[in-house]
Structure 1
Amino acid sequence: MSKKAKKIIKIVVISIVTLAITICFGGYMMFHNEIKTLHSIEKLDDYPFYMMEYHGDYGLDEFLEQGGASSDSELVSFVVKRLMKGLPIEINIPSLGCSTFTAVTPENEYLFGRNFDLSYSPAMMVRTKPEKGYESVSMVNLGFIGYGKDKLPDNFFNSITTLAGPYAPLDGMNEKGLSVGVLLIPTEETNQTTNKVDITTTTAIRMILDTCATVEEAVDLLSQYDMHSSANSCYHFQIADANGTSVVVEYINNEMKLVEPKQAYQAATNFLLTPGDYDFGHGQDRYNTLMTTLDKKQGVLSEKEAMNLLKAVSQQPHKTKDGSISATQWSVVYNNTKRTATVSMGMDYQHTYEIKLFE
């Protein structure tokens, strides 16, 4: 081979290597936040239960500026374009039961308790730190975004779909000590049409955690948008803050209603609490257990007692109307004062995980 030919080959090889490095570097620069996010995933429990820290901007402002979403399918379209870079994804929110309550510890720390009841649900606590919002942690049912026993985010490729996590929260707490949880009401879905920007059940939680420090701010925020519930059903939210304030926000005939507690504590399950519509739905037995215990203790519970109360209203595996098997998937005690979350997965109350918002 002539020197000239060798020189040409050398130039070609160097050019190819340089191009490959440039492409890899460019790809990393374009997706470095996503890569960093996926590498942050940590498996805490074999149920399973994961932690993930989302790095970068997930486009909430952009979501609202383009009109929000009036359905899960519209939300999926935005998530696919903005977070998944075109990779397909489904967000399916089925009917779900749940229980929530507020209490105060003997040390005057405000608690928010939450049971999430559904069919088998691998879970992930997603930590977000938006540049223009509050840091928060929120619980995501990975089953809503395509995971299950046959697919879990245990390797880089399978974990990609978890990038949709910020738009699928079901309960959570932010750095200001504001907690929120959503609970199903088995009645006609909410579809407000007053020409305001549209939001869905989970995006409402995302917005509350990112931008609200108090219950008053959260209620004001929700009043500025048209709510569209998921799963062809209706939901209500219980919201509590670090000042000890609590409220249940309901939607009746597409009008937002507020249910404020008559005492220093409050509870909710899966029926309406608005006067005139009381007892519509189910979960009255769990509600009675919650309120009887809270009444007896005058709303004062230690964190351990709060978790024990969640255990008392947990649901053992049972068959639902659609034939699926439902049970309590996770229990969380949020301490709005200390900004911590204690999590029990799959009703294993002997083993809990404490997550600190600030570490």
Structure 2
Amino acid sequence: MQFKNLQIILVFVTYVSFVLSSPIEVKDKTASSIQNLKATEEMQSITDKIKVTEFRGDDGVDALLEVGGFDNDSDMYRFILDRMGYNITNIFINRKGMACSAFHSPNEKGNGYYFGRNFDWVNDCNKLIMVNHPDNGYSSISTVNTDFISWVNENYPLEQLMEIAVTQPELIKPLPDELVRLVSLYIPVDGINEKGLSISVNMVPGEFFNQNKEGLRHLTTGSANRVLLNKAANVDEALDILKNSNLHSTLDINIHFLISDSTEKSVTVEYINNKMIVSETKIITNFYIADEIKEYSIDEDGRYKTIEDKMKQFPNMSINNVRDTLNAVNQEEYTQWSVIYDQLNLEATYFFNINYEKGYHIKLFDDESDDETIVVSDLETSIVFDDSDSDDESNF
């Protein structure tokens, strides 16, 4: 197997809020054409910045849980990749900045729910849609910023690698696709599984968390996302997993989760003084929801209020309403993707780089057989967003 002795650099995200004086107006609303995607075990390029792939088989989650997990990403990635045949000598994670928004809304027929999410990043990143079909777990669709991941083929000490990432970025190489598929399983930032459970992870201010209760497994931010998508059928099961885990924030970055399922249940999970706090909510951005820490509960750029107002205006949203709401809180060039997870039909619709006229659709179980010879469609689907129910510009 190639690329056996690589040092992996996982460039993770620091979630920060970009302050806007007012919500961004939607200036152009035309019908969205949607291209169907189907994943294979190959890394298929949709554009030069967007890829789609799938994994089938033993993704390592059961083994990770059997050993009790890890309290840091370096040991966790080394363990996972070693099981898959790679001798990884060193792993570290670096930071860059972003802001995010997510919300959960009933659909227009009242028989299901949508989960909308914006991922905002400091530059035009490489994006991966990952479809996972584990041997012993729920299938899922998730999204990854693969700019988190780079490698150098030298055995530098960790401190030197961190310095190189900042002072000599020309030495940092893109990770081969063969390994991107594997590493990306453990760094999703949002996703939906076959039971309709949907997740978004967003940054919040304050001190990082590092739980160490005796007798509990250890999960980092990324591995927690993967375990929840693989093992939780609903919000209650997700909370049970987190309650029985010591969670460790990657890079000492504080985050919170929005977790919702195919029912009306939707919660945020936050960590305050190493204590897990659960609050019922339909919306998160980048400030705390919990009553216990109101001093950080400031909607600085109005994204939360904008989403809240749209949900009041459209208590049962169409997919168009969800799209337009995500557009209303986009962060201009920073918004890398907007995704709408359909928790009833188990599918995702993506819009990249605030181009809401062109979307990409992928269904979790588009092919009922075990045949993996499926490819990215070159044809545009007949699914077209009809803007007859789009919001008037005056509403933004």
The TM-score, its normalising length taken from structure 1, stands at 0.79
The C-alpha deviation readout for 1:179-232, integer Å capped at 9, x for no partner, is: 011000122111111021110111111111101111111111110000001121
Q: Which of 316, 319, 328 is residue 303 of structure 1 equivalent to?
A: 319
Other-structure match for 1:22: none
The answer as to 2:99 corresponding to 1:97 is yes
Please give the alpha-carbon distance, in whole angstroms, between the structure 1 residues aligned to 2:40 and 2:74.
24
How far off its partner does 1:80 sit? 3.5
**AA matched with 2:107:** T
Q: Distance in 2 between matches of 1:187 and 1:212?
A: 28
Three-state SS of the structure 1 residue aligned to 2:291 is: coil
Provide closer, same or farther for how the CA distance between residues 39 and 193 of structure 1 changes in structure 2, counting only shifts above 3 A.
closer
Residues 1:267 and 2:283 aligned together: yes
Aligned partner of residue 182 in structure 2, secondary structure: helix
Map 1:72-221; keep pairs closer than 5 Å. Answer: 72-83=73-84, 85-87=86-88, 90-92=92-94, 94-108=96-110, 109-120=112-123, 121-146=125-150, 157-195=176-214, 196-221=216-241
Cα deviations across residues 306-339 of structure 1 (Å, max 9, x unaligned)?
A: 011111111124xxxxxxxxx1111100000010
Describe the shift of the 1:205–1:278 C-alpha distance in structure 2 as closer, same or farther (beyond 3 A).
same
Identical pairs, percent: 34
| Bigger Rg over Cα | 1
C-alpha distance 292-260 of structure 1, shift in aligned 2 (>3 A): same
- The superposition leaves residues 332-357 of structure 1 with CA deviations (integer Å, 9 ceiling, x where unpaired) of 00000010100111111111101101
Residues in 1 aligned to 2:207 and 2:296: alpha-carbon distance in whole angstroms = 12
Letter in 1 for 2:327: K
In 1, the alpha carbon distance for the partners of 2:298 and 2:50 equals 28
Distance, in Å, in 2 between the alignment partners of 1:257 and 1:341 is 29
Secondary structure at the residue paired with 1:221? helix
1:42 partnered with 2:32: no
Deviations, residues 3-55 of structure 1 (Å, cap 9, x unaligned): xxxxxxxxxxxxxxxxxxxxxxxx79xxxxxxxx9852111233x11111113
Amino acid at match of 2:82: K
**Count of residue correspondences:** 307
> Is the CA contact (8 Å cut-off) linking 2:41 and 2:54 kept in structure 1?
no
- Paired residues of 2:64 and 2:80 also in contact (CA < 8 A): no
Q: Which residue of 2 aligns with 1:23?
A: none
Query: For residues 332 and 201 of structure 1, what CA distance do their matches in structure 2 show?
Result: 20
Q: Would you say the 8 A contact 1:271–1:279 is kept in 2?
A: no
* 1:346 maps to amino acid: N
What is the CA distance between 1:66 and its match in structure 2?
A: 2.2
Are 2:335 and 1:335 aligned? no
Conserved? CA contact 2:116–2:338, under 8 Å: yes
Alpha-carbon distance, 1:96 to partner: 3.1
Q: Is the CA contact (8 Å cut-off) linking 1:76 and 1:91 kept in structure 2?
A: no
Contact 1:199–1:225 (Cα < 8 Å) also in 2: yes
Q: Which amino acid aligns with 1:81?
A: D
Which position in structure 2 is the counterpart of 1:289? Answer: 306
Query: Residue 126 and residue 69 in structure 1: after superposition, are their counterparts in 2 closer, same or farther (change >3 A)?
Result: same
SS in 2 for 1:146: strand
Do the aligned residues in 1 keep the contact of 2:43 with 2:177 (CA within 8 Å)?
Answer: no
Structure 1 CA distance for aligned equivalents of residues 364 and 177 of structure 2:
27
1:352 partnered with 2:372: no
Q: Separation in 2 of the partners of 1:165 and 1:82?
A: 15
When the two chains are superposed, the root-mean-square deviation of aligned CA atoms in Å is 2.4
Write the letter of the residue equivalent to 2:234: T
CA contact (8 A) 1:83 1:164 kept: no
Unaligned runs of 5+ in 1: 1-26, 29-36, 318-326
CA contact (8 A) 2:118 2:339 kept: yes
Contact residue 232 and residue 238 of structure 2 kept, 8 A: yes
Q: Determine the structure 1 residue equivalent to 2:22.
A: none
- Determine the C-alpha separation between the residues in 1 that align with 2:356 and 2:196: 24
The one-letter code matched in structure 2 to 1:353 is Y
Residue segments in structure 2 that go unaligned for 5+ positions in a row: 3-38, 152-168, 367-396
CA distance in 2 between counterparts of 1:289 and 1:107 reads: 23
Higher RCO (C-alpha 8 Å, min separation 6) = 2
Q: Give SS of 2:358's match.
A: coil
CA distance in 2: counterparts of 1:352 and 1:309, whole angstroms: 15
Contact between 2:55 and 2:181, CA under 8 Å: does it hold in 1? no
